[in-house]
């Protein structure tokens, strides 16, 4: 996705450069990193060709950076294993698609469900997740595109995965877990909506 003379001649902004760190992770060598429709389309193309059906453009300079900002693309069949972070909160801003972000207790029970959609859709479009909170994403659109920010440098030991969720090595096992979690998330939301609809009992003097 390099520059073209036709773009320069017409004054159009050239597409962001993409440099592969690995098949899923890309960086840009541009002094000012930008992203547009063409960038996201290219990330979707890359994600579609990856076994885990995801890709990301890191807009920070390198893995040792103190602040990590990423434009992330997931296909709806991508499995996001529940995980939590140590010493680094994260923020999530949804750009395209819809999803449920599931918050878990340490034993795997659902604590909360965040219904996510882009701004203007009547749902949440942003969250900031504190450290040491297990969470996952259930994607309900063909593609999910979001901007994520967290603390660096990159250190895989700062992310933990629970033993109550599959590691994703078995696709059928992961899909079964996603289906069961989705059903539980739906039940959780239904119960929450019912609880909010029932008015609180008004005390009397009797």
pLDDT in tens, 129-145: 999 999 999 999 999 99
Cα(12)–Cα(4) distance, integer angstroms: 10
Tokens found for residue 180: 């069961």
Residues 35, 45 contacting (CB under 8 angstroms): no
The whole-number pLDDT of residue 198 equals: 62
| CA-to-CA dists, residue 182 to 138, 167, 178, 185, angstroms | 7, 17, 6, 5
Concatenated DSSP letters of 133-162: -EEEEEE-SSEEEEEEEEESS--GGGEE--
pTM of the model: 0.86
Model confidence at 124: pLDDT above 70: yes
Report the Cα–Cα distance between both ends of the chain, in Å, rounded. 75
The yes-or-no verdict on residue 204 having pLDDT over 80 is: no
User: In this predicted structure, what is the pLDDT of residue 203?
Assistant: 57
Instruction: Report d(CA 76, CA 141) in Å as an integer.
Output: 6
Q: Rg (Cα) of the chain, in Å, rounded?
A: 20
* Residue 9 pLDDT > 80: no
pLDDT at 81: 98
Distance CA 181, CA 197 (A): 24
Determine contact, residues 59/68, Cβ cutoff 8 Å.
no
Residue 119 has pLDDT above 50, yes or no: yes
Average pLDDT of 161-171? 97
Q: Which two tokens stand for residue 148?
A: 């994520």
pLDDT digits (tens, 9 = 90+) for 93-118: 999 999 999 999 999 999 999 999 99
């Amino acid at each position: 996705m390099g520059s073209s003379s036709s773009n320069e001649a017409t004054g159009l902004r050239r597409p962001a450069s993409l440099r592969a760190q690995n098949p899923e992770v890309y960086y840009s060598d541009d002094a000012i990193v930008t992203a547009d429709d063409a960038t996201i389309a290219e990330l979707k193309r890359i994600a579609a060709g990856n076994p885990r059906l995801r890709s990301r453009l890191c807009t920070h300079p390198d893995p040792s950076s103190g602040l990590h900002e990423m434009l992330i693309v997931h296909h709806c069949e991508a499995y996001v294993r529940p995980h939590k972070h140590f010493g680094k909160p994260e923020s999530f801003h949804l750009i395209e698609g819809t999803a449920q972000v599931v918050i878990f207790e340490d034993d795997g029970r659902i604590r909360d469900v965040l219904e996510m959609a882009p701004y203007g859709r009547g749902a949440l479009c942003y969250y900031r997740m504190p450290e040491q909170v297990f969470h996952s994403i259930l994607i309900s659109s063909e593609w999910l595109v979001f901007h994520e920010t967290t603390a660096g440098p990159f250190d895989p030991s700062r992310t933990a995965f629970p033993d109550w969720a599959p590691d994703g090595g078995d696709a059928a096992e992961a899909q079964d877990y996603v289906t069961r979690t989705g059903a539980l998330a739906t039940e959780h939301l239904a119960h929450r909506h019912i609880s909010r609809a029932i008015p609180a009992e008004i005390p009397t003097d009797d």
